[in-house]
């Protein structure tokens, strides 16, 4: 029997940051207001496209696994903010790493990485693939109306990737559960797509919008339900879980989730303070950080769960392998950035936060 095990990991976050104090210079908020409600202190703002973030994360994951891009059988890239819809940006990553394989994007919003990891494990367990590259990458700053405090304070840019390989050693992905609740699909959305009137300048005013209270409630219920289901499916008691790596949307959601599941808070890995919500990238970035900080230990049982627009939800149970250090270190880097976070968002801030006439918008 083949098992699907993570053998490589890598993250890429752009160098420019936007702190809570920076946000307070153009919207009515404060560091204390944001941190007390979300746990976020800063977020990264990208000066490059999503595919570039994804490519660097992918190259670092390949190096950590000690393999070349040409050995990859499939690339699954989760993103709700790709550079282009046609072609998919998995093909851009494929070209950048020198792979010759199947490559496609998926959009399950914040649950996208776990959707991809679940699909990768199924490909491997079926014998269809031996090595799969799974990436979560987002440039959510593209979607923000910076005058809307409820969303402007939450989101950031970044990417994370893992290499999943076939092995005869029991462990790896033990099981996963995926779900979608279409009744709530309109409580978290951005009006970008073919439903737009491409001949109207007003169509360009697309942005992320959501019902915060409803999202909070449904996120906890969705992740709790699927986490419980995957534990039961795998025959693993919650007390046997060594570490929980949840989607990093809001620290309050994480605290409430583990409390409801009766899992000690110290078992939940939280790094939202440094990145904000990077959607499909939050979990792979968190995996990288947990490894760098020595939180992930060999052979640990790890529960990961997520919730996002759609309304998607996912939970995955993983037994980590023996290795927690990379085989090699990649020298892949983003091109230099000569601007601060405030400078990178200035054009959008000027557009959304200052009164404008119709002719100015046109």
The single residue of 247, 250, 288, 305 carrying the catalytic annotation is 247
Dihedral pair phi/psi, residue 268, rounded to 5°: -90, 125
Nearest alpha carbon to residue 250 among 19, 36, 45, 16: 36
Nearest alpha carbon to residue 302 among 357, 354, 245, 230: 245
Is residue 274 part of the annotated active site? The answer reads no
CA distances from 263 to 66, 172, 238, 239, 300 (A): 35, 22, 7, 7, 15
Query: Which residues 6+ apart lie within 8 Å of 201 measured at CB?
Result: 358, 361, 362
CB contact at 8 A, 352 and 145: yes
Is residue 110 part of the annotated active site? The answer reads yes
CB contact at 8 A, 303 and 101: no
The single residue of 110, 224, 250, 305 carrying the catalytic annotation is 110
Is residue 277 part of the annotated active site? The answer reads yes
CA distance 247 to 41: 17
CA distance 255 to 263: 10
The single residue of 49, 88, 107, 277 carrying the catalytic annotation is 277
Residues forming the active site? 110, 247, 277
């Amino acid at each position: 029997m083949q098992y699907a095990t993570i053998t490589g990991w890598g993250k890429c976050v752009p160098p420019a940051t936007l702190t809570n104090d920076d946000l307070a210079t153009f919207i009515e908020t404060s560091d204390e207001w944001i941190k007390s409600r979300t746990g976020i202190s800063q977020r990264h703002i990208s000066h490059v496209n999503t595919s570039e973030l994804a490519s660097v994360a992918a190259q670092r994951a390949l190096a950590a696994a000690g393999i070349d891009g040409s050995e990859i059988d499939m690339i699954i890239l989760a993103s709700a903010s790709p550079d282009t819809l046609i072609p998919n940006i998995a093909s851009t990553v494929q070209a950048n790493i020198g792979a010759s394989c199947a490559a496609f994007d998926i959009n399950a919003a914040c649950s996208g990485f776990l959707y991809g990891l679940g699909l990768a494990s199924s490909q491997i367990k079926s014998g269809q693939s031996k090595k799969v590259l799974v990436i979560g990458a987002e440039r959510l700053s593209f979607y923000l109306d910076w005058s809307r405090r409820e969303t402007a304070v939450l989101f950031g840019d970044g990417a994370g990737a893992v290499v999943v390989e076939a092995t005869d050693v029991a462990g790896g992905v033990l099981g996963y559960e995926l779900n979608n609740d279409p009744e709530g699909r309109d409580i978290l959305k951005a009006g970008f797509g073919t439903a737009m009137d491409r001949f109207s300048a007003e169509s360009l005013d697309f942005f992320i919008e959501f019902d915060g209270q409803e999202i909070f409630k449904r996120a906890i219920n969705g992740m709790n339900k699927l986490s419980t289901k995957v534990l039961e499916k795998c025959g693993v008691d919650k007390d046997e879980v060594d570490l929980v790596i949840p989607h990093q949307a809001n620290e309050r959601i994480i605290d409430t989730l583990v409390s409801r599941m009766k899992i000690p808070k110290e078992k939940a890995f939280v790094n939202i303070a440094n990145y904000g919500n990077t959607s499909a990238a939050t979990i792979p970035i968190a995996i990288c950080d947990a490894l760098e900080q020595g939180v992930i230990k060999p052979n640990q049982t790890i529960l990961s769960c997520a919730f996002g627009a759609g309304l998607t939800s996912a939970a995955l149970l993983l037994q980590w392998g023996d290795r927690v250090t990379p085989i090699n270190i990649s020298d892949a880097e983003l091109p230099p950035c000569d601007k601060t976070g405030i400078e990178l968002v200035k054009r959008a801030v000027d557009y959304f936060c200052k009164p404008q006439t119709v002719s100015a918008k046109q």
